[in-house]
Amino acid sequence: MLQCAAGTVEKSKLQLMPYHRFEVEGRIYAVNADRFCCKRLDDRTVAFLSAWEGDPRVQPEDDVRSALVKMGLLVGDQGKTCPDPAAARLERDSRAVAGWLSTDAARTSSLCLMVAQECNMACVYCYGDAGRYGGGGLMTVETSCRSVDWLIRHSGGNRKLNLSFFGGEPLLNLPLIRWTVEYAKQTGEQNGKTFTFSITTNASLADEAAIDFLRANQFEVVISFDGTPAAQDKQRPFKDGRPSYAEVAPRIKQLLSAFPLACGRATLYGGTEPGEVLAAMKEIGFQSCHLVPASGCLLTGVPEEKALFRRDRERAADLRREAAAFVAAVKRHDPAEAAYRLKDRDLSRLTSIGSVPFIVRRLFFCGVGRNYLAVDVDGSLYPCHRFVGMKEYLLGSVSGEEDPPRGLFHESPVTKSEECRQCWLKYVCGGGCTYTNIASASGPFRPDPTYCRQFGQMMETLLDAAGQLTAEDREFLYQNNVVARPPCPLDF
Ligand code: SF4
Ligand code: SF4
């Protein structure tokens, strides 16, 4: 739990809104947790906030007061008070959740089809029971057809729909994928819907014909790959025990020449060095990389294994190094180096962080159980791909006529979780991965402390990097196309 400080300056009826203070190498910042705007603090403002933490009756001097009022941190100026900001925020957020759930945005618009609950690899950290998800087999044409029909029927006013092909290894069932894509395009057209397609693959079966098909249908491609030969061979061997790096590396290069923006997803496990993995991912040609810690498998009863990946200090240090290298590249006007550093997916979030308030508060972490559902090989509906096979989370079937009730997935951690309600990151986080919460902290609304700590460290690093960029630095990034110039100045 990452709590904010908040309270009341009683004498003047001023109220200090929830904020988070942090320091990086002597630079001190405050983040307004409600509006998520961040400002570097001068010494006198720091002194006031420190004094206030000891004695909430302390009064700010005029210039400090007006700076904090401008940030939205101090409210109730000129005699106006806000009776109970926490209750007011909870009510506002509850209304926002209910409002959002009544819109088409909450209707299902994306289905993950588990077209192959089989895999040709045997990844040591697989959370899906070696790709079988407690079942196994290949999806039939009848089931994928029903899934497409179900999605069209229950997507409300959403005109853009997505099918993601997942497994196991989905390319084990490429003929079905080909058929389903054609069926979705035709049926979608008849119903005023358009489909986009995505796939997550280990690349081992991505031959020329498969790549041509994916390209012709403008797939978004995610490639699971652990970066270095040592990590890939040890953690992602083939099912028969053979090492896989030598076989998949050329396939990945071919895929990347067709899909230069394909995201590389590496799983950090045991002693993997994140910096080495990232360098290896960039070396093979990924422009976008996502490094994620391994999570436990709930299906086989193995709880989140604390030793899977708990080296968050190293991860945080790596990101700080990347951020420092990015800032240094900007300061010495080296656009190529700045762009190279931004290939890190976490660091690339910098492009959407600015010093102005976020307009939209995030109420959910992802679409699980709402606009995103998964279908297993038999047509059963689950909240997302990770829940497949967990009967206690079964929602229904694509053979059913009804749109099944979504239960806990219609509740937002931002209002429901005590930890998230008090967290300075809630409106940029949305409450974490529900599956991970269940796996690591035993409840959908009990956030995983490791994730929270890592996310907090990451955001502080990014906010510090953004805080070091001047208006001229930003202009340099826009002019050199390192970062797209936002159409509206309030967007950055
Ligand atoms: S899950 Fe997100 S919002 Fe909830 S406590 Fe953790 S970081 Fe904060
Ligand atoms: S619950 Fe977790 S695994 Fe499922 S869609 Fe959300 S982020 Fe992904």
Looking at the domain that runs over 84-492, which CATH code has it been given?
3.20.20.70
Minimal-distance CA residue to ligand 1 atom 3: 426
Which DSSP letter does residue 242 get?
A: -
pLDDT at 183: 98
Which DSSP letter does residue 407 get?
A: G
What does the pLDDT average to over 203-221?
Answer: 97
pLDDT at 140: 97
Residue 272 neighbours by CB under 8 Å, 6+ apart:
226, 231, 235, 309
pLDDT at 131: 77
Question: Which ligand 1 atom is nearest residue 420's CA?
Answer: 4
Minimal-distance CA residue to ligand 1 atom 6: 452
Closest CA to 323 of 353, 295, 346: 346
pLDDT at 446: 92
Mean residue pLDDT of the chain comes to: 86
pLDDT at 245: 97
Cβ(438) – ligand 2 distance below 6 Å:
no
Q: pLDDT > 70: what percent of the chain?
A: 88
Cβ(368) – ligand 2 distance below 6 Å:
yes
Minimal-distance CA residue to ligand 1 atom 7: 452
Interatomic CA distance for residues 427 and 78, integer angstroms:
28
Question: Which ligand 2 atom is nearest residue 383's CA?
Answer: 4
C-alpha 332 – ligand 2 centre gap (Å) = 40
Cβ(435) – ligand 2 distance below 6 Å:
yes
What does the pLDDT average to over 134-160?
Answer: 95
476, containing H or E segment: helix 471-479
Band the pLDDT of 80: cuts 50, 70, 90.
low
Cβ(432) – ligand 1 distance below 6 Å:
yes
Q: Is the pLDDT of residue 366 over 90?
A: yes
For residue 450, the ligand closest to its alpha carbon is 1
Question: According to DSSP H, which parts of 302-396 are helical?
Answer: 312-331, 335-341, 345-348
For ligand 1, pick from 411, 420, 440 the residue to mutate: most ligand atoms within 8 Å of CB: 420
Q: Is the pLDDT of residue 491 over 60?
A: no
For ligand 1, pick from 358, 452, 458 the residue to mutate: most ligand atoms within 8 Å of CB: 452
Band the pLDDT of 273: cuts 50, 70, 90.
confident
Closest CA to 172 of 118, 225, 253: 118
Cβ(390) – ligand 2 distance below 6 Å:
no
Whether the CB-CB separation of 341 and 326 falls below 8 Å is answered with: yes
Q: How many CB atoms lie within 10 A of CB 395?
A: 19
Minimal-distance CA residue to ligand 2 atom 4: 384
Q: Is the pLDDT of residue 449 over 60?
A: yes
Return the bridge partners of 68, or none.
none
C-alpha 395 – ligand 1 centre gap (Å) = 26
pLDDT at 112: 97
C-alpha 78 – ligand 2 centre gap (Å) = 46
Q: Is the pLDDT of residue 307 over 70?
A: no
Q: Kindly state the tokens that stand for 387.
A: 């829940």
pTM: 0.86
Q: Is the pLDDT of residue 306 over 50?
A: no
Q: Is the pLDDT of residue 356 over 60?
A: no
Task: Name which residue leads in pLDDT, 305 or 226.
Answer: 226
Query: pLDDT per residue over 99-143, tens digit each?
Result: 999 999 999 999 999 999 999 999 988 887 777 888 889 999 999
Q: Kindly state the tokens that stand for 163.
A: 């099918």
Interatomic CA distance for residues 438 and 442, integer angstroms:
4
Cβ(447) – ligand 1 distance below 6 Å:
yes
Cβ(441) – ligand 1 distance below 6 Å:
no
Cβ(96) – ligand 2 distance below 6 Å:
no
Q: Kindly state the tokens that stand for 403.
A: 């749109």
Question: So where are the chain's domains?
Answer: 5-80, 84-492
C-alpha 15 – ligand 2 centre gap (Å) = 37
Whether the CB-CB separation of 125 and 267 falls below 8 Å is answered with: yes
Task: Name which residue leads in pLDDT, 322 or 220.
Answer: 220
Band the pLDDT of 299: cuts 50, 70, 90.
low
Minimal-distance CA residue to ligand 2 atom 5: 368
pLDDT at 300: 59
Whole-Å CA distances, 142 to 95, 113, 147, 343, 384: 41, 13, 9, 41, 21
C-alpha 384 – ligand 2 centre gap (Å) = 6
Least confident window among 69-73, 143-147, 156-160, 323-327 = 69-73
Interatomic CA distance for residues 99 and 492, integer angstroms:
27
Q: Is the pLDDT of residue 451 over 80?
A: yes
Q: pLDDT > 90: what percent of the chain?
A: 58
Identify the sign of the CA torsion 238, 243, 246, 252. positive
Q: Kindly state the tokens that stand for 107.
A: 């209707």
C-alpha 62 – ligand 1 centre gap (Å) = 34
Please, is 184 exposed, middle or buried when counting C-beta atoms within 10 Å of its C-beta (0-12, 13-18, 19+)? Answer: buried
Cβ(366) – ligand 2 distance below 6 Å:
yes
What does the pLDDT average to over 344-353?
Answer: 74
Q: Is the pLDDT of residue 328 over 90?
A: yes
Cβ(396) – ligand 1 distance below 6 Å:
no
